Amino acid sequence: MQSEFAPDGTAFDISGQHDAPVLVLIHGLGLSREIWRPHLVDFQKHYQVITYDLFGHGKSAAAPETTTLSLYAKQLADLLDHIRCPSASIIGFSIGGMINRRFAMNYPNKTTTLVILNSPHDRGDELQQQVEARAAKVREQGAMATLDDALKRWFTADYLENGNGVNAVKKWRQQVDAESYAQAAWVLANGVRELIKPKPAITHRSLVMTCENDTGSTPAMSHAIATELNADSTVIIPRLQHLGLIQEPQSFTQPILHFLDGILK
């Protein structure tokens, strides 16, 4: 695996098949590109795969200016330009599924297909207020302030007690740049508004997925995203919560590959 840094300080890895279609994987808030490691073995068999850290996450430099969805989209566009990749299929988890939608709006010619995983949409007033309150708490008390409650929303009770991924999530949160994280939390809370009934419209082939018990990126939200994007399909993973892609990687990898293989191969 080739690990490098782009000129703006973005840490990234390139792996898989050199001359194959390109997949870009975008992690969620407070995580890192390492979240994709269990998925890479299968993705690398037929694709070139790029993983990278969002500004202020993992090994990437802090955000160079106040963060917005468009700034994160530009981070990805600049990365693709740096590696001389004209276009890619963009797979985004949580805020990553917001970033890839913004990316498709801002850079439609650089977007091949979209996979939107456990990503929020129109929350309604009550849930929107809760998410904004969490973002405010992060701003006031720091990146670790909301983690304990988040873990309960993200993992099933049995996995939270025994799963190896829980410690990894804690480690990734400890790595974040505090200011970049606070700004990203606010983007997660408020950026949804610019993605509802998107203008310009997103017309790329797309797959939308979430988990049955994801309370922040609900099945209803995924169905709404899919309707607005005229997505190829919507997949709801039974039983799991927000970080189901850590708890049961294959439950995500196989539907994603089924979708991509039908278009790209």
Eight-state DSSP code of residue 8: T
Range of the domain at 13: 2-264
Asked whether the predicted pLDDT for residue 1 surpasses 70, the reply is: no
pLDDT, one tens digit per residue, over 118-149 is: 999 999 999 999 999 999 999 999 999 999 99
Find the Cα–Cα–Cα–Cα dihedral 205, 210, 216, 220, rounded to 10°: 70
pLDDT at 63: 94
Cα distance between residue 30 and residue 174, in whole Å: 8
Mean per-residue pLDDT of the chain: 97
Asked whether the predicted pLDDT for residue 3 surpasses 80, the reply is: no
Q: How many domains is the chain partitioned into structurally?
A: 1
Looking up residue 166, the CATH number of its domain turns out to be 3.40.50.1820
Mean pLDDT, residues 53-74 taken together: 97
Helix axis angle, 178-190 relative to 95-106, nearest 10°?
70
Q: How many residues does the structure list for the chain?
A: 265
pLDDT, one tens digit per residue, over 65-83 is: 999 999 999 999 999 999 9
pLDDT at 265: 85
